[in-house]
Amino acid sequence: MFKCLRRIICLLIIAGIAAAYFAFTSGGTKFRWFGKKTEETGRAIHQTMDKTAEKADEVKKTTEESVKKVDKLSKDIKKKIP
């Protein structure tokens, strides 16, 4: 438990030092670049999720239609059997 906590603290310290280094050497350009790339990635993920949601809606709709057809057929078969 303490090893994990120590590693997290060390990573945070290293990340802080790296952020300070980039801030002192190149100003905000590295941070702006990172923000721009994450925004582009987020936009691409959002578009992919929208397409996936549409496909899931189509699958649900066809599944519901199939279930209704099967129920109708099973009722018809039950009526024919004495």
pLDDT tens readout for residues 18-69: 888 878 787 777 778 878 888 888 888 888 888 888 888 888 888 889 999 9
pLDDT for position 6: 93
pLDDT band at 82 (very low <50, low <70, confident <90, very high): low
**Domain membership of residue 66 as a residue range:** 2-80
Measured distance between the N- and C-terminal CA atoms of the chain, rounded to whole angstroms:
69
Per the structure, the count of domains in the chain is: 1
Tell me the pTM: 0.50
Residue 14's pLDDT is: 95
* pLDDT attached to residue 18: 87
Distance, in Å, from the CA atom of 19 to the CA atom of 68, rounded to the nearest integer, reads 59
